[in-house]
C-alpha cells in the first residue's frame, strides 16, 4: 500500500518511460486583464490592461504533464495547415516537444479556445474549431505513422485523449487499440461523449462524472456511490475494460477492477480552475500503470495530482517536486 511506498523510487520509475499521446490538440489562449467598470453600451464588464498568453492544450497538455514527471511523451495528432497550426508548432518548439507524430491537414482548422479572465474570474470563452472526423485519407496516413511508432519498439503505453474534435474517428479507434495490443502496449483512454461506447478491451478508462452520465445515458447522482459503481461495473464488463477510473471532482474518485470498486474522497484544496485536471489524472494514471501499481493506488496518486493543478488559474501541468512532497505527506500520515 501507499503508506509503505518509497515515492522517491516510484517517481524515479516514471522517468524515461516513453508514452504515445494520441488525440485532439488545441491552443489555449488567455486574455488576462482587469475589470473596473461596466460598458455603457451593454451590461457587460470592460476588460482593460489585457495580456495575451498562448499555451498548449488538449492532448498536448497530457504530453506536458507526462514530460513534467520526467517521462518522454510522443504527441500524435492532426492539426490544420493554417496560421493557428503554425502557432501550435511554435509552442511545441518552445516546450521542446517533438512534432514527430503530427499530421497537417489543409482541410481542417486548428482548435483554439480563448478565455477572458480577470483575477481568477473566468468571464468568457470563445472556441474556434471544427469537430468533423478526419477524412479516410488522413486517417490512413495517421494510422501508418502511429503503427510505425508502435512497431519501432520502446513504447511503454499509449494514451488516447479524446476531446470530440474529430481526430479519434470511430474506425481509427478500433485500429489503434488493435495495433497496440499486437505489440503488447497498454492502452489508456480519456473519453468524451461521441465515441464513449467505442472504446473496448482497453487497460484503463477514465471518464469524469459528466462524461460517464452522458456516455451511458443514465441519470446518476455524483454522491450515489452504489448506483455509480453498479453502472461502471456493468459497462466495464461489457466493454472488457481492465481498470476503470471515474473522477468526481469534490466527491473524489471511484475506481473498479475485477468486479469490485473503491471510492476515495477528494483531498481538500483551494480551487482556482478545474481546466486540465483530467489531463493530469490520465497522465499520472499512465505512469502509475506502467510502474505496476494497483488500481486504488493509481487512483489515489492520480487524484492527488489532478487536485494540485486545480489550485492555479488556467491549464497548467503538474509540479513533480510538489507532488512528491504531497504524496509523502498525504499517504504517510493518513
Residues forming the active site: 279
Edge-to-edge strands of the sheet including 121-128? 45-58, 25-38, 112-118, 121-128
Q: What is the C-alpha radius of gyration for the chain, rounded to an integer number of angstroms?
A: 20
How far apart CA 58 and CA 231 sit, in angstroms, is: 27
The dihedrals phi and psi of 266, each to the nearest 5 degrees, come to: -75, 150
How far apart CA 26 and CA 311 sit, in angstroms, is: 22
CB of 192 within 8 A of CB of 168?
A: no
* Alpha carbon separation from 312 to 33, 121, 124, 308, 321 (Å, rounded): 16, 12, 18, 8, 16
Q: Residues near 238 by Cβ (< 8 Å), separated by ≥ 6? A: none
CA 86 distance to own-chain centroid: 23
* Alpha carbon separation from 256 to 190, 230, 233, 247, 253 (Å, rounded): 16, 10, 7, 12, 10
Q: Is 122 left (phi over 0), alpha (psi -120 to 50) or beta?
A: beta
Edge-to-edge strands of the sheet including 260-264? 101-105, 72-80, 18-23, 157-161, 187-190, 204-205, 243-247, 253-257, 260-264
CB of 249 within 8 A of CB of 266?
A: yes
Amino acid at each position: 500500500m501507499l503508506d509503505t511506498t518509497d515515492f522517491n523510487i516510484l517517481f524515479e520509475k516514471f522517468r524515461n518511460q516513453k508514452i504515445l499521446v494520441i488525440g485532439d490538440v488545441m491552443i489555449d489562449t488567455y486574455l488576462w486583464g482587469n475589470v473596473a467598470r461596466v460598458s455603457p453600451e451593454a451590461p457587460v464588464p470592460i476588460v482593460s490592461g489585457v495580456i495575451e498568453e498562448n499555451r498548449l492544450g488538449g492532448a498536448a497538455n497530457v504530453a506536458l504533464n507526462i514530460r513534467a514527471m520526467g517521462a518522454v511523451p510522443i504527441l500524435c495528432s492532426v492539426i490544420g495547415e493554417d496560421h493557428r497550426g503554425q502557432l501550435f508548432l511554435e509552442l511545441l518548439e518552445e516546450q521542446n516537444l517533438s512534432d514527430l507524430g503530427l499530421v497537417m491537414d489543409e482541410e481542417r482548422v486548428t482548435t483554439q479556445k480563448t478565455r477572458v479572465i480577470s483575477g481568477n474570474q473566468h468571464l468568457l470563452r470563445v472556441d474556434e474549431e471544427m469537430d468533423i472526423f478526419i477524412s479516410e485519407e488522413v486517417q490512413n496516413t495517421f494510422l501508418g505513422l502511429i503503427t510505425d511508432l508502435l512497431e519501432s519498439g520502446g513504447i511503454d503505453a499509449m494514451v488516447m485523449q479524446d476531446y470530440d474534435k474529430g481526430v479519434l474517428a470511430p474506425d481509427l479507434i478500433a485500429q489503434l487499440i488493435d495495433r497496440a495490443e499486437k505489440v503488447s502496449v497498454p492502452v489508456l483512454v480519456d473519453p468524451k461523449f461521441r465515441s464513449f461506447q467505442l472504446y473496448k478491451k482497453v487497460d484503463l478508462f477514465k471518464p469524469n462524472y459528466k462524461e460517464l452520465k452522458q456516455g451511458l445515458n443514465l441519470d446518476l447522482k455524483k454522491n450515489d456511490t452504489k448506483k455509480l459503481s453498479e453502472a461502471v461495473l456493468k459497462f466495464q464488463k461489457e466493454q472488457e475494460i481492465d481498470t476503470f477510473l471515474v473522477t468526481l471532482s469534490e466527491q473524489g474518485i471511484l475506481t473498479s477492477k475485477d468486479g469490485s470498486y473503491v471510492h476515495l474522497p477528494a483531498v481538500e484544496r483551494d480551487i482556482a480552475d478545474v481546466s486540465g485536471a483530467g489531463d493530469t489524472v490520465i497522465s499520472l494514471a499512465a505512469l502509475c500503470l506502467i510502474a505496476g501499481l494497483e488500481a486504488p493506488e493509481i487512483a489515489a496518486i492520480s487524484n492527488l495530482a489532478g487536485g494540485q493543478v486545480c489550485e492555479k488559474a488556467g491549464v497548467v501541468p503538474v509540479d513533480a517536486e510538489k507532488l512528491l512532497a504531497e504524496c509523502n505527506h498525504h499517504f504517510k500520515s493518513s
